[in-house]
Amino acid sequence: MISKNLIKDKKGFTLIELLVVIAIIGILSSIVIASLNTARVKARDTRRLADMNQLIKAIEMYHTDNGFYPACGVADYCNSTASGGYVNLNTLGVKPNYLSATPVDPTNIAAQYGYYYARRYKPTGSTPPYIYTGSDQNYIVGTRLENSSNPVYSGWDNPNINLYKGQ
């Protein structure tokens, strides 16, 4: 026969208590994961801006030494993915003297991201965000930021670019 004292001394969690704790842990983990995704997007955008600024510095150093902005081999346009009929950015002529490696987007998704360069274009800061000048003294570099208030412009090869810089 079971003693009454033995039943009273039995301690533990009920199934409902365990389910409540598991639900709370699930809610907290989903909040943490959501904030980590936001941090990852910001980190990728920061890397894109840093890569873009390094590319611009290399292009400017090339201009200082040569008196004009570089062409992409025989073309005036190139990108980091060599898609859409563009020449690959490796042919820009800024490696290895001005840039150690061609920048590659952190996600490496060619259909949405990458770096674009065009000589003889100038950024306008309005719509459209650039114009053709025909001058070797102008260029634009473009990329797409994931977390940007800039509108996405569909006028160039990649319809997802939302940031242009240049001279």
Please indicate, yes or no, if residue 1 is contained in any of the structural domains: no
Whether 10 is in a domain gets the answer no
Structural domains in the chain (count)? 1
Whether residue 64 has pLDDT greater than 90: yes
Could you tell me if residue 112 is left (phi over 0), alpha (psi between -120 and 50 degrees) or otherwise beta? alpha
Checking if the pLDDT of 34 tops 70, the result is: yes
Three state DSSP letters for 21-60: HHHHHHHHHHHHHHHHHHHHHHHHHHHHHHHHHHHHHHHH
Asked if the structure places residue 5 within a domain, the reply is: no
Which one has a higher pLDDT value, 7 or 56?
56
**pLDDT digits over 104-142, tens only?**
888 876 567 788 888 998 888 777 788 888 888 899 888
Residue 6, domain member (yes or no): no
Q: What is the pLDDT of residue 157?
A: 55
Tell whether the model's pLDDT for residue 100 goes beyond 80: yes
Q: In which domain, by residue range, is 60 found?
A: 15-166
Average pLDDT, the chain: 81
Q: What is the pLDDT of residue 108?
A: 72
Contact 128/119 with Cβ under 8 angstroms?
no
Q: Give this prediction's pTM.
A: 0.74
125 belongs to a structural domain: yes
What pLDDT score does 20 carry? 95
For residue 77, the model assigns a pLDDT of 81
Task: Evaluate whether residue 108 is within a structural domain.
Answer: yes
Lowest-confidence segment of 32-46, 55-69, 72-86, 121-135 by average pLDDT: 72-86
- Residue 118, pLDDT score: 87
In a domain, 9, yes or no: no
In a domain, 80, yes or no: yes
What is the pLDDT averaged over residues 146-158?
Answer: 67
